[in-house]
Structure 1
């Protein structure tokens, strides 16, 4: 695509007055938009889908829960479905749970240290506890990063139309 200088040179436009410059810029902008649209249409495909008002409201409400626009949500979720991936929003509760698990692990490590110094509780019980906490953290990470996909019919999703 040509820039403004190339456009003037290519079409032999020689503006001398301010009005001629403005007109040249206006015609260049029109040319640029037309060329950009051609490029965009060649690189993108458009699909039109018709929904009833009720279906649209359902999609809109789900998209709102994912903090997406309906069109973006439909595109992402349909591609995720085709590619068998889950489309998950960033969930602060998961991050908070992971942080609490790490803090619990730290507390367990402190208890292990104290038990070693006081020789009250066996090392095997603490190592088993630490192993279980680590397994819990791994499970949370695995579920969030690559969750098991259970495709539910939309009408089974609770509180769909509730705001």
Structure 2
């Protein structure tokens, strides 16, 4: 990238600022995103990526399992889901959701409090997690305020 000219120094001496190639890519990316937003439907928010919550995934599965979409291909279902607000949903994502439907529904039934989450938490040591959960509930019942460091220390004690 060529050097760009800048204003004069304090003693009216001109100077140039050298910017190495590749610098300014964030500006170009924002300009490109802005152009894409202006080209899309103004009523539909533009997003580069959309992470689906467990609730969204179940809603999509309910829609795809209904009688009204029984005869549609996955690609046709994706087009209809785009009109429902799932703008970045692709056919491959829909295929993955349909493949894992039983696992998703079983997890949602077992943990209804996690419907707002975008990913299932991965627990390495479930027995430690359960013991720590009970300890936290007990301390909260006693009115003791817990900090992250205190919880971490107790988790190490349980290990």
**Shorter-chain TM-score above 0.5:** no
For the pair shown, which has the larger CA radius of gyration, 1 or 2? 1
> Larger % of strand: which?
2
TM-score grouping bracket, smaller chain normalisation = under 0.3
Taking structure 2 as the reference length, the TM-score comes to 0.26
Taking structure 1 as the reference length, the TM-score comes to 0.26
Using CA pairs below 8 Å that are at least 6 residues apart, which structure has the higher relative contact order?
A: 1
> Larger % of helix: which?
1
